[in-house]
Structure 1
Amino acid sequence: MNKILITGGAGFIGSNTALKLVSQGHKVVVLDNLSPQIHGNNPDTTSPLYQSIKGKVEFIKGSVTSREDWIEALEGVDIVLHLAAETGTGQSMYEIEKYVNANIGGTAILLDILTNEKTNVKRVVVAESRAIYGEGRYWSDELNSYVYPEERPEDAMSNGDFEVKYPGCSKPLKLVGTTEDSKIHPGSVYGITKQVQGQLVHMVCQSIGIESVSFRYQNVYGPGQSLSNPYTGILSIFSTRIKNGNGINIFEDGKETRDFVYIDDIVDATILGLTVPGISGNAFNIGTGVATDVLTVANMLKKHYGIDVPVTVSGNYRLGDIRHNFADISKARKLLGYEPKWSFDEGIRKFTEWVNTQDVQEDKYESSIEEMKKKGLYK
C-alpha cells in the first residue's frame, strides 16, 4: 500500500477520496489550510468535511504556498494528489493575485522541491478543470469540421442573443463532447491557472522521471458539498436559496448546459488515476458525457425539496461565462476503465436527501453578485 499526500484533502473531493483510500489500506496525509470560505470559522464544528477525516488521516494544517509546509507533508510520500486550489471562476476575475499565487505558485513550489530535493514521490496527480477549455467543442456542417467558438461578445448578450457564433458559419452549430485534444482557451483567470498547473506538472515530472496524471473534472456535486460558499456549484447555491425560501435567478435564457458528475464517480476515477499503471503523461476528462441545462436543474431541485420558489429566467449574464460544455469520456473509459455509475436523476435525489438533513445555511448569493456588479462582471 502507498503513502499518499492529498493537498486540499479536507475539501469536497479530497475528503471523500481520502476516506476511500483509507478504507483500502493506504496511509493518507492531508495538507489543507481549512479556508473559512469553505470550512467556516471553526472547522471542528462548522466543517463536516474536515470532521469526516479528522483522526483518520495524518492532518497538517498548512498552505501549498509555504515551502516548509510542503516539505513536512512530503515526508515519505509515494504519490501526490494535488487538489488544493482557489476554485471560484467569477471570484478569480477580481482576486487575481490570490488565484495565481495559490494555484500556480503552490504547484511551482511542489515541483521545485521534487526537482531539487530527494523525495520518494513516484507519481503526481493534479486536478485541472473543464474550465481550461473555455467554450465547448462544436460541429459545423458548413465547414465540415469541429470548431471552437471564442468568448461571446457583450453586445450580443445584452440583446438577449446567447448562442455561440463562429466566423463563416450562418447556421447553428451542433454541440458535441469536448475531447482532451480539443482547443484549450480558458475564459477566466481560474481556467488559466488550472491550465498552467497541468502543463507544469506534466512537463517538469517528465523531465525528472516522475509519473504525471491530470484530471479535467466537470461540475462535481453530491452530499458534503459546501452549502454556504456562494462560489461553489449551482446545485449548492440553488439549494441554499430554495431552503431559505428565496427565488432563483437563472442567467441568460436557462438553456446553458453543463456536465454534472456525482462525487462517488469522481472519487472512483481519481483513485484509478493514482493506481492504474502505464498512464503517465495523460490528461483525462472526468464527467458523465451528458449535458443538462440550468433551468432543468432548478426545477428538479424544487421538485425534490417540495418547496415552490419563483424561478426567473432573467437574461442577466456574467462576462466570461461559457454557453455549453460536456465531456467526451472515451479516453478515461479506455485507459482508466472509468465508467460513471450515477445518473443525474439518481445523484440529485441523493444530494437533496442529504441537504434535507443539514441546517439551513445563510444565503450569501446576493453578496457575491454585488461583488461582481462592482467589478463590472455581472450584467
Structure 2
Amino acid sequence: MTILITGGCGFIGRHVAEELLQSGYEVRVLDALIDQVHADAELVVPEGAEVIRGDVRDKDAVRAALANVDGVIHLAAEVGVGQSMYEIARYVSCNDLGTAVLLEAMIGMPVRKIVVASSMSVYGEGLYLTGDGRRLGYVRRRSHHIKRGQWDPLGPDDEPLTPVATDEEKPVDLASIYALTKYAQEKQVLIFGEAYGLDAVALRLFNVFGAGQALSNPYTGVLANFGSRLANRQPPMIFEDGKQRRDFVHVRDVARAFRLALEKPAASGHVINIGSGLAYSIADVAMLLADAMGVPEIAPDIMNKARSGDIRNCFADISKARELLGFEPKYHLENSLAPFVDWVRQTGAIDRGAEMKRQLEERGLVS
C-alpha cells in the first residue's frame, strides 16, 4: 500500500514516514521545503521514501504526487499562533487553499483513506468546571482582566473555574487565525470523505515534542523555542505568569497515532485528540528542560504580558484515541528529554525568540 504524506519532510512528517516504512508501507512525500522550517537544518529523508518537491497549492504537483496512491496523510501547513495573527493571507492560503487543492485533485483518484493533522488550538480554552461541577465549553478571558494580570479565566459571575482534561465533545472556539485554518482543514477533509465515500479522520494534535524540530523557527513548538534560547544561554521567554498548562506528546507517539488512524476502520469520520493525557505548567517545562540541558541556573523570563491568540489551559482527554485507535502514549516529557537535548546540542540552534517578540510587539499583539 502506498501512502502520500504532504509536508512529509517536516518534523512530524519524517517520523510518520519512518513509522509507515517500518510497518511495510510504500511512502511518497510532497513537501515545499520552505525556508522558515528547513533553511537552518540539514534535510533528512527516511531511507526508502520517494520525495517530490512541490507546493500543496500546485494542482499539477499534487496530482503527480497522488498517482497510484492508496491513502493520504495531510500534514502540510503553516504552523504558529502568533505569526498567523499578522501573516493572515499566508496561513489561510497554505492551510485552507492547500487542503482544497489536495482534495479537488483527489476526485477520481483511487485514494481510499485520508488522515489530516488538526490541532488542539481549535478548542480555544480547554474544558472547565464550575464549583458545582458544571461543564463550561465556552470560556474566554476578558481583555480588561488580562490587562490587569488576571490570567485565569473566570465564570459567568466572575467565579473561579477548574481546568480539566478536554475531550472532543468540548465545542470549538477559535481564538487565532491559525486555529481557524486548522478547523477549516479538518472540516474540509471530513466533509469530502463523507461526500465521496472515503475514510476520513482528523487528529487534533496537542503540543508535539521530540528530536528533529526546527529549532531556529520561533513559531514552532514551545520546547524547541525554549531549547534554542537555552542553547544560546538565554532564558526561555514565557508570556503571562508561566502557570498556564499544556499537554506535551512525543512525536513518535504521534507518528504511531497516524498509522493507527490509517489502519482502524472505526476511526473513520471522527475527530480524535492525540496527546499524552498529562498537564504541565509552562514554567515547569522550562525548568525541566534547563535542568536536562545542564543549565539549571538559567531561569525562565516570566514576562507577565499576554500574546494575542493565546489561551490559558488546554490538555487532552485521550479516551477516544484509546477506544478507537488502541492508542497509548509510550513516552512522557519527564523521561524523554535526553534525545531532544542531544539534538539541540548537535544542531547549533539560532535563537530568534527576541525577533519573534519584537515582531509581535510592533503589531500590538502583546499587551
Q: Which band: TM-score by shorter chain?
A: over 0.9
Corresponding position of 1:23: 22
The correspondence for 1:121, drawn from 102, 111, 117, is: 111
- What one-letter code is carried by the residue in structure 1 that aligns with 2:44? Q
The SS at the match of 1:52 is coil
Quote how far apart the aligned CAs of 1:52 are: 3.3
The correspondence for 1:304, drawn from 292, 296, 299, is: 292
Corresponding position of 1:345: 334
Quote how far apart the aligned CAs of 1:128 are: 0.6
Q: Determine whether 1:176 maps to 2:136.
A: no
**Which region of structure 1 is more displaced relative to structure 2, 285-294 or 103-112?**
103-112
The correspondence for 2:129, drawn from 122, 139, 159, is: 139
Alignment RMSD: 1.4
Quote how far apart the aligned CAs of 1:149 are: 4.2
Q: Determine whether 1:199 maps to 2:195.
A: no
Quote how far apart the aligned CAs of 1:168 are: 3.1
Rounded to whole Å, the distance in 1 between the matches of 2:347 and 2:252 is 23
CA shift digits 1:65-107 (9 cap, x unpaired):
1111110110000000000000111100101111111111011
Corresponding position of 1:291: 279
Q: Determine whether 1:315 maps to 2:314.
A: no
Rounded to whole Å, the distance in 1 between the matches of 2:365 and 2:316 is 27
Rounded to whole Å, the distance in 2 between the matches of 1:329 and 1:266 is 12
Rounded to whole Å, the distance in 2 between the matches of 1:221 and 1:99 is 22
The correspondence for 2:325, drawn from 314, 331, 336, is: 336
Q: TM-score, normalised by structure 2?
A: 0.96
The correspondence for 2:44, drawn from 36, 48, 51, is: 51
Q: Determine whether 1:157 maps to 2:149.
A: no
Corresponding position of 2:205: 217
Rounded to whole Å, the distance in 2 between the matches of 1:243 and 1:47 is 16
Rounded to whole Å, the distance in 1 between the matches of 2:299 and 2:277 is 30
Rounded to whole Å, the distance in 2 between the matches of 1:109 and 1:30 is 16
Rounded to whole Å, the distance in 1 between the matches of 2:215 and 2:106 is 36
Rounded to whole Å, the distance in 1 between the matches of 2:125 and 2:232 is 33
CA shift digits 1:44-72 (9 cap, x unpaired):
xx534x3233x521111000111111101
The SS at the match of 2:265 is coil
Q: TM-score, normalised by structure 1?
A: 0.93
The correspondence for 1:230, drawn from 218, 231, 250, is: 218
Quote how far apart the aligned CAs of 1:372 are: 0.6
Contact 1:151–1:320 (CA under 8 A) maintained in structure 2: no
CA shift digits 1:146-171 (9 cap, x unpaired):
0034432222112111011121352x
Contact 2:81–2:309 (CA under 8 A) maintained in structure 1: no
The SS at the match of 1:261 is strand
Rounded to whole Å, the distance in 1 between the matches of 2:300 and 2:105 is 50
Aligned length: 366
Stretches of structure 1 lacking an aligned partner (at least 5 in a row) = 41-45
Rounded to whole Å, the distance in 1 between the matches of 2:150 and 2:322 is 36
Percent same amino acid among aligned pairs?
40
Corresponding position of 2:233: 245
Contact 2:4–2:72 (CA under 8 A) maintained in structure 1: yes
The correspondence for 1:366, drawn from 338, 354, 364, is: 354
Quote how far apart the aligned CAs of 1:190 are: 0.5
